[in-house]
Amino acid sequence: MEAFAHGFDPTSLREYDIRGIVGATLGPRDAYAIGRTFGSVVAREGGRTVAVGYDGRLSSPELEAALVDGAVASGVEVLRVGRGPTPMLYFASASLKADGAVMVTGSHNPPDHNGFKMILGGQSFFGPRIGELGDMAARGDVVPERVGSVRDVDVQADYVERLARGWDGGERRLKIVWDNGNGAAGEVLAELVRHVPGEHTILNGVIDGRFPAHHPDPTIPRNLRQLIAAVRDIGADIGIAFDGDADRIGVVDDRGEIWWSDQILALLARDVLEARPGSMIIADVKASQVLFDEVSRAGGQPMMWRSGHSPIKSRMAETGAPLAGEMSGHFFFADRWYGFDDGLYAAVRLLGVVARMKTALSAAHDALPKMVSTPELRFDCADARKFVVIEDVAARLADEGADMTTIDGVRVTGADGWWLLRASNTQAMLVARAESASPEGLDRLKAALTVQLERSGVAAPDFSGGSH
């Protein structure tokens, strides 16, 4: 009889997933415990199958093997999908009708990091449920040990075929540069480009968990330098970059100019709303007001929601929204897709939009209203303090009669534009952003934000990083 109990490093239990530094705060024993406890949750809720996949990090095979052992000890059947992007595991979960799913992935984090994303009953497993998993492990609160089973399932060909069905750009052959960033999409991407019309160039296509070319986070401009240079060099129509597990994308146009995620969402929203007029389009609180205005102008219902892929997916399921996105580069299609965030599928749909355009992508960029904004500013604030700061600021602003929303931190709207202050759900940090139609307006917004922070005893972030 197994005597099971396990204590996770408390820093590894996050809002949306479990993650940490391999060898320091995360290791195979943790992976086994996740398999054992999550397998028990699935079994207690009447489930029988758990799909498991892993990304291209050097530590992922060992963690995946331990995770599988833990799940098998809980009596479930493990459907082993193998190495690939996170959305391929999501696809496997949906297409195989698995009761639960776990992806071993460090996403866009440094090479020595790794983690676990979970799905239960087709919905994200996050928030309090992750805390409950930690409590279960500490108490040894698991189903009696019994031997489950393991089955290898190769879904890659089906996944690629399903992705390719998203192409709706006709026969126009775009010139496309892809930057895989040595991430987990490598083999899937190599197959996908054979199904999508165009002239394709793939950078850093080999999966390599050391990420030798650059850090695999396409929302950071310096990580797009290689892509921008290649687009300009060959005269491409568009460049698309993936993060480490390919659930997010970054985009540059034919001039090599970066499209921020809310600008991409505006383009995708117009296209979806042509087929589904009046639909709700969801974006997180960090998105530009331009995005919400563009959705309204296109006949849609804009909805501002909490940041994070798990809250966004849950809100989509509740409202029936066909499309959502967030500033981190996640795009969620429930229109002709499954509702989960998939960088590869979003790329195919975006390429279809571009292929049907009568102008270059850069012309669409020029046509968007021009705003000036800060980048996303992240600055230290103790976990015990960060939410208190938000509550203090919100209370003062309410007393002042400010026009604000508090669905995720505080977003204040005024004559100059808007500013946002929220607590990070994953780090001991506050996050701020501001946007205005003019540099002078942006300065006033930053000053207003600074005043509120100082009144709460917090030093303002460094605004010298410029604006975009």
Q: Which residue, among 168, 186, 322, 310, has the nearest Cα to 245 in the 3D structure?
A: 186
Amino acid in the structure at residue 305: W
Rounded Cα gap, residues 254 and 353, in angstroms: 14
Q: How far is CA 166 from CA 110, 237, 278, 322, 348, in A?
A: 32, 19, 22, 14, 6
Q: What are the φ/ψ torsions at residue 345 (nearest 5 degrees)?
A: -70, -40
Cα dihedral 296, 302, 308, 313 sign: negative
Residue 107 phi/psi, 5° resolution?
Answer: 55, -120
107 is catalytic: yes
The span from the CA of 243 to the CA of 343, in Å, is: 8
CA atoms of 318 and 312, how far apart (whole Å): 10
Give the distance between the most distant pair of CA atoms in the chain.
Answer: 69
Q: Which residues pair with 372 in a beta bridge?
A: 436
User: What amino acid is encoded at 306 in this protein?
Assistant: R
Catalytic residue among 40, 107, 310, 373: 107
Residue with tokens 């209203």: 369
The phi, psi pair for 464, rounded to 5°, reads -75, -5
* Residue 180 neighbours by CB distance under 10 Å: 28
Task: Count CB-CB contacts under 10 A for residue 363.
Answer: 13
Cα–Cα dist 50/405, whole Å:
39
Q: Comparing C-alpha atoms, which of 348, 322, 331, 344 is closest to residue 165?
A: 348
List residues with catalytic annotation. Answer: 107
